[in-house]
Amino acid sequence: MAEPNVTRIVAGWATSLDLADIPAEVRREGVRTFVNWLGCAIGGADHETVDCALAGVRPFAGPPQATVLGRGERLDVLHTALLNGISSHVLDYDDTHLKTIIHPAGPVASALLAVAELRPVTGRDLLAAQIVGVEIACRIGNSVYPDHYDRGWHITGTAGIFGAAAAVGRLLGLDEQRMCWALGIAATQASGLREMFGTMCKSFHPGRAAQNGALAAFLAEAGFDSSERAIEAPRGFANVLSTKQDYAEITEGLGERWEAALNSYKPFACGIVIHPTIDGCQQLREELRDAVREITEVAIRAHPLVLELTGKTGLEGKFSVYHAAAAALLRGDGSHSAFTDEAVNDPALVELRRKVKVTTDPKVHEASVDLTVTLRDGRRVSRSIERAIGSLERPLSDQQLEAKFRGQAVSRLSEGECERLIELAWRLPELERAAEVARAAVPSGAREAAR
Amino acid sequence: MAEPNVTRIVAGWATSLDLADIPAEVRREGVRTFVNWLGCAIGGADHETVDCALAGVRPFAGPPQATVLGRGERLDVLHTALLNGISSHVLDYDDTHLKTIIHPAGPVASALLAVAELRPVTGRDLLAAQIVGVEIACRIGNSVYPDHYDRGWHITGTAGIFGAAAAVGRLLGLDEQRMCWALGIAATQASGLREMFGTMCKSFHPGRAAQNGALAAFLAEAGFDSSERAIEAPRGFANVLSTKQDYAEITEGLGERWEAALNSYKPFACGIVIHPTIDGCQQLREELRDAVREITEVAIRAHPLVLELTGKTGLEGKFSVYHAAAAALLRGDGSHSAFTDEAVNDPALVELRRKVKVTTDPKVHEASVDLTVTLRDGRRVSRSIERAIGSLERPLSDQQLEAKFRGQAVSRLSEGECERLIELAWRLPELERAAEVARAAVPSGAREAAR
């Protein structure tokens, strides 16, 4: 076998890179990734999945070292990483590396911010570690995608743990040897089955990747050793968990081309294949204004995959292109509130979604859609979406990211707390203590209760 | 797809079985499994691997709920399960389900005894839970072995976690629904790569299986849901982690034929392929007495696998059939002390192992060996071992298990403490509180220090 020393190359790069070596636009995307992750973690904080996880682990939690975002409970670093990783993913609203469908911030940032509450970490160092962690998770993902994902692995968990281990390892100042061990301890914990989609275990995966990746780094720091070829060895991660192993995806152009710069942020709280439809329906609503009440038919022409993944007509609004179109037209909403039980049962939305007809055509691109609305007076208005808002071609602006953040944080924080937190998050690279963000991400009532 | 409801069948059986339904000889083997595991956990307690793991996790550990065996540190249940799982495996001296090479007690008993320190558990209930856990781990192992192992999975970790989850789930009184979830949460954490053999991560696997299996049960108890078909679903454990899925191995004859009764205990602290050689050399030593110093040649005829796995001539004594033969002849020793640096560097052993010649013959059974010793006066003495002591055909007697226990515990406990602990362990089924065993497995000095 003549694989390159992939694990050692990754470890060497992760330990030696300086934030100054990261191009400004990649650093900027890193801050946007952080802002988006923080809003998602707060938005998901009161989800039942987080309640159950907290109830399950609380009897075993260690010292109050770090903060459960949007709530205020203080747990040890590892359990905090778990809970924030769960809440950031639980609404299916987090970031996406589109080439691999990895949601990288959940594993990486959840681990990092928790560690930053235990040891002094500047915002600059946290940002560099996050970019390194996201880069490594996505590159390892690229090396095994799609075979690894097709086999049934939830790649956000399996690749994410490497990102969390490398990122935390950087904060701990591991040398190259110990960074290799951290990657090895991560590799031998890599797990998460796609069978779990639709259950609480789906968001458990990024949570555990954050927790277990951090554990890997702390164990390596304590001298716990591991294989130094855990990624590429014949019985290592890539060979055991995948039929495809393209190591060049991991090692080539490290520090030159940046996967971390290709992160994207969902503008809508649902499966990405519905996004063009919501985008187009929102645009039609702008144009039609009050006339949206006069709609007699909504005709959608889309790739067959759209119906395959989101052709549900029942209560699973997040998986219904019919419901999503109706909510975007009638409410202009594509956020979490568009998919609640209240929304799905709203008689006006029920009525409108019955008027939605979908025709499929494999010649339409998966990321495109053609929409035509017919009004009572016979008028027809059409809209074609080549690429939806939130795609790499049409990224969310900083203002749109902020609006998304506010829409999520509003359920947990006051307006003043929310604005202060947004401002802090954007200033991450300048913060003397990154932990300040975690402490500001707690409703004042909960902060007092935790004291 | 028409797989049987494997996960639900396992969950139903695990929740409803009563100890009285377990045949007496299976219960007896369960007690022997427990005694052997306890001695191994104490014997490994001062290993560097345990020191490093403890140093790494201690800052995050929760309340002092349970006891690190042979040491006395008190940590939360989950971290205790991790550490005892590591120490019980770290000397490669624990139990073996020979059909799958699973070492089942590490994951299962390490989780159970820790839980028994948190909640009131009788020895009877712990024993029943251990037998159920070992049975499930070995049956799930059977269903995917050998393909799963050949692919590179350390099956003690991947199958062991199911055993730990089911066993702890029983102690918690989970209903069938929640037991399904516990198995699902276990399935989506199943991990452990054979690439880690030779590093500290090898014993990390049973440790994590114990810890993560217990976590799965506690999460399910708290209402954290999961797939109910995690073992057999198209993207479930068996399909994603193996090319072989023989579900009948899991579901057929449950409660009738018992894998838990096929557990075996290593008499020697090294790879099982050397055991016939050590057994034969110890018998030759009995016969030769002082004449062992007159040996000019030791001829070993064995299956080629023996040399492939244990043909090392350097310092890795545990992987050297040469060293093992010399230590058994000259010292009568096959325990951990036969493989220390001191032993490997002993000039008398170095000299004798140079006189060991191995010839291989594929017609010799892997579990057999022919030995011929030549003495200075030209006399030759031979011994053939059909099956070694410790095999299913020649199991260790209770007295031999006790002797093994004493040999391991002597480094941590006084003779009085050791004898009391052995007596307690044999009386497991009668104990009102199983936790008594954990508290007795601590040197008195450490017990006082922990107060």
A201, A205, A218, A229, best to mutate vs chain B, most B CBs in 10 Å: A201
Q: Between chains, do B184 and A200 touch, taking CB under 8 Å as contact? A: no
- H or E element that contains B438: helix B435-440
Q: What is the DSSP string of A260-271?
A: GGGEEE-SSSS-
Q: Between chains, do A190 and B190 touch, taking CB under 8 Å as contact? A: no
Give the pLDDT score at A375.
97
Assess if residue A449 is contained within a domain: no
Same domain, yes or no: B287 and B208: no
Assess if residue A406 is contained within a domain: no
- Which residue blocks in A311-364 are alpha helix, DSSP H? 321-331, 341-345, 347-353
CA distances from B228 to B182, B187, B188, B243 (A): 9, 11, 12, 21
Looking up residue A62, the CATH number of its domain turns out to be 1.10.4100.10
Same domain, yes or no: A256 and A344: no
Nearest CA in chain B to A152: B235
Amino acid letter, A25 = E
Assess if residue A66 is contained within a domain: yes
Amino acid letter, A351 = E
Q: Between chains, do B219 and A192 touch, taking CB under 8 Å as contact? A: no
Give the pLDDT score at B1.
46
For chain A, the domain total comes to 2
Amino acid letter, B67 = T
**B160: DSSP letter:** H
- Whether omega before B107 lies within 30 degrees of 0, making that bond cis, reads no
Same domain, yes or no: B257 and B296: no
Assess if residue A407 is contained within a domain: no
The rounded distance, in Å, linking the Cα atoms of A330 and A348 is 8
The rounded distance, in Å, linking the Cα atoms of A22 and A139 is 16
Q: Which of B191, B201, B215 is closest, CB to CB, to A184? A: B201
Assess if residue B393 is contained within a domain: no
- For the record, the structure tokens of B276 come out as 């016939």
Give the pLDDT score at A448.
58
Please calculate the CA angle A354-A359-A361 and round it to the nearest 5 degrees. 160
Same domain, yes or no: B365 and B258: no
The rounded distance, in Å, linking the Cα atoms of A260 and A132 is 8
Assess if residue B316 is contained within a domain: yes
Give the pLDDT score at A353.
94
Same domain, yes or no: A100 and A222: yes
pLDDT digits (tens, 9 = 90+) for A169-227: 999 999 999 999 999 999 999 999 999 998 999 999 999 999 999 999 999 999 999 99
SS3 assignment, position A343? helix
Give the pLDDT score at B272.
85
Nearest CA in chain A to B202: A226
Cβ atoms within 10 Å, residue B361: 10
Looking up residue A343, the CATH number of its domain turns out to be 3.30.1330.120
Same domain, yes or no: B18 and B127: yes
**Phi and psi at residue B55, to the nearest 5°:** -60, -35
Q: Which of A49, A188, A234 is closest, CB to CB, to B191? A: A188
- Check if the interface score ipTM surpasses 0.90: yes
Same domain, yes or no: A123 and A260: yes
Task: Using the 3D structure, point to which of B358, B385, B412 is the last residue of a domain.
Answer: B385
Residues 6+ apart with CB under 8 A from A316: none
Assess if residue B196 is contained within a domain: yes
| Numbers of helices and strands, H then E, in chain B | 22, 8
Residues 6+ apart with CB under 8 A from B421: B38, B409, B413, B437, B440, B441
Q: Are A227 and B199 in contact (CB under 8 A)?
A: yes
Q: Whole-structure pTM over 0.90, yes or no?
A: yes
Q: Between chains, do A57 and B215 touch, taking CB under 8 Å as contact? A: yes
Give the residues across from B354 on adjacent strands. Answer: none
Same domain, yes or no: A176 and A302: no
pLDDT digits (tens, 9 = 90+) for A117-149: 999 999 999 999 999 999 999 999 999 999 999
- Which residue range is the domain that position A79 belongs to? 6-266+424-440
Nearest CA in chain A to B200: A225
> Sign of the C-alpha dihedral, residues A423, A107, A131, A36?
negative
The nearest CA of chain B is from the CA of A81 a distance in Å of 12
Instruction: Report the candidate in B342, B189, B295, B237 with the shortest Cα–Cα distance to residue B6.
Output: B237
Band (pLDDT 50/70/90 cuts) for residue A310 is confident
Q: What is the DSSP string of A166-194?
A: HHHHHHTT--HHHHHHHHHHHHTT---BG
Same domain, yes or no: B248 and B277: no
Instruction: Report the candidate in A451, A442, A450, A428 with the shortest Cα–Cα distance to residue A112.
Output: A428
Q: Would the pLDDT of A313 be above 80?
A: no
For residues A439, A440, A442, A445, the Cα torsion angle rounded to the nearest 10 degrees is 100
The nearest CA of chain B is from the CA of A31 a distance in Å of 29
Task: Using the 3D structure, point to which of B200, B231, B265 is the last residue of a domain.
Answer: B265
Instruction: Report the candidate in B257, B264, B261, B251 with the shortest Cα–Cα distance to residue B14.
Output: B251
Same domain, yes or no: A258 and A380: no
**B229: DSSP letter:** -
Give the pLDDT score at B46.
95
For residues B321, B327, B328, B332, the Cα torsion angle rounded to the nearest 10 degrees is -160
**Phi and psi at residue A67, to the nearest 5°:** -115, 130
Report chain B's terminal Cα–Cα distance, integer Å: 57
The rounded distance, in Å, linking the Cα atoms of B202 and A188 is 9
Give the pLDDT score at A271.
83
Nearest CA in chain B to A188: B192
Give the pLDDT score at B316.
75
Give the pLDDT score at B336.
87
Strand ranges across the sheet with B369-375: B356-360, B295-302, B369-375, B380-385
Q: Which residue has the higher pLDDT, A316 or B102?
A: B102
For residues A203, A152, B251, B173, the Cα torsion angle rounded to the nearest 10 degrees is -10
Q: Would the pLDDT of A277 be above 80?
A: yes
The rounded distance, in Å, linking the Cα atoms of B406 and B380 is 35
Q: Would the pLDDT of A1 be above 50?
A: no
The nearest CA of chain A is from the CA of B196 a distance in Å of 6
Same domain, yes or no: A228 and A282: no
For residues B438, B444, B448, B451, the Cα torsion angle rounded to the nearest 10 degrees is 0
- For the record, the structure tokens of B40 come out as 């191994």
- For the record, the structure tokens of B151 come out as 């692919």
Give the pLDDT score at B213.
99
Q: Which of B152, B223, B235 is closest, CB to CB, to A152? A: B235
Same domain, yes or no: A297 and A317: yes
The nearest CA of chain B is from the CA of A73 a distance in Å of 15
Residues of B in contact with A7 (CB under 8 A): none
Residue B190, CA atoms < 13 Å, CB-side half-sphere = 34
Only one residue has tokens 């299996």, namely B213
Q: Would the pLDDT of A411 be above 70?
A: yes
The rounded distance, in Å, linking the Cα atoms of A388 and A390 is 6
Q: What is the DSSP string of A415-431?
A: HHHHHHHHHHHHTGGG-
On average, the pLDDT of chain A sits at 95
What's the burial of A153, exposed, middle or buried (CB within 10 Å: 0-12/13-18/19+)?
A: buried
Instruction: Report the candidate in A429, A404, A446 with the shortest Cα–Cα distance to residue A41.
Output: A404
Assess if residue A400 is contained within a domain: no
Residues of A in contact with B192 (CB under 8 A): 188
Task: Using the 3D structure, point to which of B370, B385, B400 is the last residue of a domain.
Answer: B385
- CA A299 to chain CA centroid, Å, is 31
The rounded distance, in Å, linking the Cα atoms of B42 and B185 is 30
The rounded distance, in Å, linking the Cα atoms of A252 and A240 is 22
- CA B344 to chain CA centroid, Å, is 24
The nearest CA of chain B is from the CA of A344 a distance in Å of 23
Amino acid letter, A231 = I
Running along chain B, 451 residues long, what does each successive block of 10 average in pLDDT? Answer: 84 95 97 98 97 98 98 98 98 94 97 98 98 98 97 98 99 98 98 96 98 99 98 98 98 97 94 93 96 97 90 78 96 92 94 96 95 97 96 95 95 95 98 98 77 52
